[in-house]
Structure 1
């Protein structure tokens, strides 16, 4: 018998990196970009994983999937599950792009294995197990990804457990730009921690300002202040550049999207690659931004209307 579950992606609108240090962040779920996990008994004498990036015995996954494998092994032990499993993962989300791919996969695996074991899954357990794999993959994640991939509204989040949803009243389009480079959240978080230790007088005020920008972003998106949100994006990107989580290619994409009519463009997620988000006032401008980004080397672009929440 097959058991299938589904979880969606996410984007950090404001507050990345600062959220690790207790500042607020705002995230939005990407309800149309999903990860699906199907679990069934395996006909082989071992647990088996079938995914875009690896197909084979679970015990032989490549290092990039060790967090996923560790989560599966933990769930098999804790539930417990006696039979060997075949686990199939299908995802719309590219990995290591700041779109919540690992959290969405972990969450969907958790839901599917609990269903397979005919065991009730609490929200607390869902976050616990999802964050278990997130810590292996990212080192010291904020926990906001696990929350947002299981939410249907924008999230205002302060680590570790101050979570509130709110309504978005915003006429505009978010252009999500995949730079084509894998991000590395773990390395970016680690390097920023080192920079903070060596230059606290530079880093700490900027992290506090990012927190303030999150507060202002909540007000802007709740009251349809699209140009103001664009200004907040621009300032956040300046800070993230100073904190050394941008790079040359991301900076070029920011410049090209600005020239195409963006109200503001910024990194989303860990940086050093991954995705950017750019704000468009209308569909025509969003298409101009998409064209400019692709011509500047972006790999994929998604258009997310902000009226969907």
Structure 2
């Protein structure tokens, strides 16, 4: 028996960092970025990835979240059959595109189907979130919610995920700076600043409020307003020292060439940036002008 499950990535539009403090966040699935987990029988518990080929439980520490998932699910089955898991497809790691949540989702759902465990949706999401906690130290749950959705997600830790099926009728340019982000470092950095600054705590609240405004702008198909919200959010994220010289350079190019709004997405300190554009042509122009500063780009019609 051989079985596969394919999961997609995600991008956070608004609310990164503030979502950790209980405020709302807005995120969307990126179908063009995906990863597939394929399960088949084996004589040893084995893993094949682009970077590691070997015994599953002997994999390096960066695979600890996956080790937890496989061990947890293996304990739920009565099968003595060992397996090989092969991962194909590619999502750039440590860029804010949800790579670890995507891998965890593909793994958990493939194993659930392979071993016919009939786990509930809540059980699966809980395990994925726990794997995320192992990977990142602290996880809001938004990555797991979004990579497991086909629609825009309005999310907070208390109420979970609300799916929004409406379209903005705009183009979102996603650009990879090629610089690795560091979620743990960024979260700790923001935590330290917030703990020692009243104005920083107010800015976290403002980020949450901007997300609420963004939801209204999206539903009303108000691209101009959403662009302004992007720019305000970027100012706040910049105040937490999450931007970089390269991100600032890309921002200047984007805003000078027709972007309605621009911001980093995810933890910051590198990773990806997003530019809201009125149409595909503007997005292509900005990507072309930024080519010396980025290693890849994707345009999503939203």
**TM-score scaled by length of structure 2:** 0.96
Which of 117, 132, 135 is the matching residue for 2:133? 135
- In structure 2, the partner of 1:40 is 40
1:85-234 matches, within 5 Å, as 85-199=83-197, 201-234=198-231
1:65-84 matches, within 5 Å, as 65-84=63-82
Measured after TM superposition, the shift of residue 241 of structure 1 is 0.4
Conserved in 1, the CA contact under 8 Å of 2:25 and 2:208?
yes
Measured after TM superposition, the shift of residue 80 of structure 1 is 4.8
C-alpha distance in 2 between matches for 1:250 and 1:79 = 47
Which of 274, 290, 298 is the matching residue for 2:294? 298
C-alpha distance in 2 between matches for 1:30 and 1:120 = 27
Structure 1: tracts of 5 or more residues without a match = none
Measured after TM superposition, the shift of residue 168 of structure 1 is 2.5
Measured after TM superposition, the shift of residue 227 of structure 1 is 1.2
C-alpha distance in 1 between matches for 2:93 and 2:252 = 25
Q: Does 1:256 align with 2:244?
A: no
Measured after TM superposition, the shift of residue 35 of structure 1 is 1.4
Measured after TM superposition, the shift of residue 62 of structure 1 is 2.1
Counting matched residue pairs gives: 302
C-alpha distance in 1 between matches for 2:282 and 2:8 = 26
Conserved in 2, the CA contact under 8 Å of 1:174 and 1:279?
yes
Measured after TM superposition, the shift of residue 91 of structure 1 is 2.7
Conserved in 2, the CA contact under 8 Å of 1:3 and 1:38?
yes
Measured after TM superposition, the shift of residue 160 of structure 1 is 3.4
1:58-105 deviation per Cα after TM superposition (whole angstroms, max 9, x unaligned): 122122222222222222223354222110111331111111111111
Q: Does 1:278 align with 2:275?
A: yes
1:280-306 deviation per Cα after TM superposition (whole angstroms, max 9, x unaligned): 1112111111112222x2111000000
Structure 2: tracts of 5 or more residues without a match = none
C-alpha distance in 2 between matches for 1:202 and 1:91 = 43
